[in-house]
A and B are shown apart, each in its own frame.
Chain A
Amino acid sequence: MTDPTFHLELQEHEKTFLDSNELIINMGPQHPATHGVLRVILKLDGEKVLGTECVIGYLHRGVEKIAEHRTYTMFNPYVDRMDYVAAVSNGLGYCESVEKLLNVEAPPRAKYIRVILAELNRLASHMLWLGTHALDIGAITPLFYTFRDREEILKIFEKYCGARLTTHAFRIGGCLYETYEGFEREVKKFLEFVTPKIGEYEELLTTNRIWVERTKGVGTISAKDCVALGVTGPVLRASGVKWDIRKAQPYAAYADFDFEIPIGQSGDTYDRYIVRMEEMRQSLRIIAQAIDRIPEGPIMAKVPKVIKPPLGEIYHSIEAPKGELGYFIVSDGSTQPYRVRVRPPSFVNLQALDLMVRDQLVADVIAVIGTLDIVLGEVDR
């Protein structure tokens, strides 16, 4: 039906409800391509999307309310359950925020350990994104490749802190665990192992005709719209804005490392794919530098046993794999936070969905949800 003038005249008895031009359909909440329990109400004209509305909150657990009833230390494991594929980043953001509120700083060695694990986690998160995103679009092989290689990262996490997914790797003031025997060697071995693998993924997809057709020009968003909608992370960078909190306002030990911020030009799904692939390589670079230069010394700052930050409030944000992850913490001088607000990147980024899929095809909605790289645990909290 390429000819726009083509119009079928129906006989009266042939008319059904399908003849209406607009159709409202529900996608999700239980849908394999929504990456969790996201419900999208689509208004369609044939295959064309006229508008969408996201219905979220199915996974709402009241994390911010829970925080007000836990001590600062007790709340630490909860943050891992928001963006559960990048638990290390969540923990890093939370621990650094409370440290700022306490006005203490983690020792250099702890900062390096944090950077290594956070970057490994970024890699794991991007691998999971690539596998599932490619699967949504119809390429099944990358899923097996990326899950196989992500396993090696999870093994390192498991050896470091005993958990694979919700790691609770860091504590307020530094790290609880010293690196295990052979940590440096294993991470280096992993770097050697994974570097060619990223090339392998690219070989499967970058010039693959189906992949290119399904992603180029799909879900385009301009830099201006990204900024207006508060979109951050790889989505913003793929639209051409060279902004990464690791560079703009360095935290942990990121100021010590040499790395690039990959950016795209057109802001389409393909560019976002290229940006994330390049980000994985940059993460490898950071990890390699951190492993080589990791200083000796203590891993825990002098933090009181009972954490009681002085009266005040703080906003601190980090570059999580999905974008800007911020914590706004209000302390009333007691052992429990008076208020913890989490600024989740997935929640804000998901807002852009409507703009990105308008006038595109239904099948592209799947591609765009995948390319936004949302985790519903973090959207709903």
Chain B
Amino acid sequence: MSEETKSPTPPPTGQPKPAAGEPISGTVQSTLVQKPEAAAPSKPAGPTPAAWDSPMVAKLKTHYGSGIREANTYLVQNYMIVEPSLVSELLQVLRDQELFDYCVDITAVHYPQREKQFDVIWILYSFPRNERIRVKTMIADGESVPSAVPIWPAANWLEREVYDMFGIRFDGHPNLKRILLPDGWKGHPLRKDYGIIQQDQEWVQINLGIESGQ
């Protein structure tokens, strides 16, 4: 974990290489803005997303118009990016009419450089169709998304975890409180501006009676 072990080699080069390309050494510092979001894929410009063509998408597009911003296929996986205002209705339609009866996962991704900082992602599966799709929306910090608990009870803990880790609120959630971290904890660890060794020192001292070991 020490940086000293690594230091003998890099100095001659003067300017270190862009952090993104360099296999991370033991540097445990926060990578606050280290990785440029949406960095242009320099060389391995792998497969590009293609339009997702299906009767379902066509139907939804005619119904919601530009509310469905994108519907793509990437690496044989289908996803659509939708307006946040549409989420509640769309998820209900997907379950009731398109038979996506199993909510596999709800998660989020933080992009601090973007104006709309968060991606919220619902991964859905349909038992009758044996099909998996992802619904994605983008929201700004402080905005909330509708809870999916009335649609799939499975969303309960999944949304609580997203709230715990990112601080995204879900409107209409029956019991939106932290799930993995203790209730009094401050901060949301999976945000990019939360350092990897950062923790709520105050909480640790009060509740555990110790100085943090790190």
Contact = CB atoms under 8 A, between A and B. Distances in A.
Q: Are A and B interaction partners?
A: yes
Interface of A: 56-57, 60, 62, 64-66, 68-71, 74, 100-103, 227-231, 241, 243, 248-249, 306, 308-315, 317, 324, 326, 328, 330, 332-336, 338-339, 341, 343, 347-348, 350-351, 380-381
Residues of B contacting A: mostly: loop
Given A56-B179, A312-B46, A335-B23, A348 B190 contact: no
Nearest to B30: A69
Interface string B94-129: 000000011111010110000000000101000100
Given A57-B181, A243-B127, A339 B109 contact: yes
B23 A313 contact: no
A308 B21 CA distance: 8
Contacts of A350: 157
Contacts of A380: 180
Contact of A328 (B21, B41, B105, B189): B105
B206 interface: no
B176 interface: no
Interface in B173-212: 178-182, 189-190, 192, 194, 196
Interface stretch (B32-40, B53-61, B62-70, B137-145): B32-40
Taking residues whose C-beta sits less than 8 angstroms from the other chain, chain B's interface range is: 35 or more
4 closest residue pairs by CB, A with B? A230-B154, A310-B46, A57-B180, A334-B20
B132 A315 contact: yes
A342 to B, nearest CB: 9
A319 to B, nearest CB: 13
A81 to B, nearest CB: 16
Given A227-B101, A334-B20, A335-B21, A310 B156 contact: no
A249 B76 CA distance: 12
Nearest to B162: A341
A356 to B, nearest CB: 13
Contacts of A324: 104
A228 B161 CA distance: 18
A348 B157 contact: yes
Contacts of A243: 127
A351 B103 CA distance: 13
Given A317-B104, A341-B105, A334 B39 contact: yes
19 contacts: A64-B165, A70-B24, A100-B75, A101-B75, A103-B46, A227-B127, A230-B152, A248-B130, A306-B23, A312-B47, A312-B49, A328-B107, A328-B121, A332-B20, A332-B37, A339-B109, A339-B190, A343-B107, A343-B123
A348 B75 contact: no
B158 A314 contact: no
Nearest to A315: B123
A230 B102 contact: yes
A103 B47 contact: yes
Contacts of A312: 46-47, 49, 74-75
Given A71-B23, A315-B134, 15 more contacts: A69-B24, A74-B24, A229-B154, A230-B102, A231-B154, A310-B45, A310-B46, A310-B47, A312-B47, A315-B123, A328-B107, A328-B121, A339-B110, A341-B107, A351-B156
A60 B180 contact: yes
Contact of A64 (B24, B42, B105, B190): B190
A315 B45 CA distance: 19
Contacts of B21: 308, 334-335
A269 B116 CA distance: 46
A71 B127 CA distance: 35
Given A324-B104, A334-B21, A56 B180 contact: yes
B130 to A, nearest CB: 5
Contacts of A248: 130
B123 A328 contact: yes
Contact of B42 (A56, A62, A241, A333): A333
Given A330-B109, A335-B24, A311 B31 contact: no
Nearest to B110: A339
Contacts of B22: 335
B28 interface: yes
A228 B123 contact: no
Nearest to A241: B127
Nearest to B18: A334
Contacts of A308: 21, 44
B35 to A, nearest CB: 6
Contacts of A102: 46
B152 A228 contact: yes
B153 interface: yes
Contacts of A231: 154
B75 A57 contact: no
B77 interface: yes
A56 B181 CA distance: 8
Contact of B196 (A56, A66, A333, A335): A66
B189 A351 contact: no
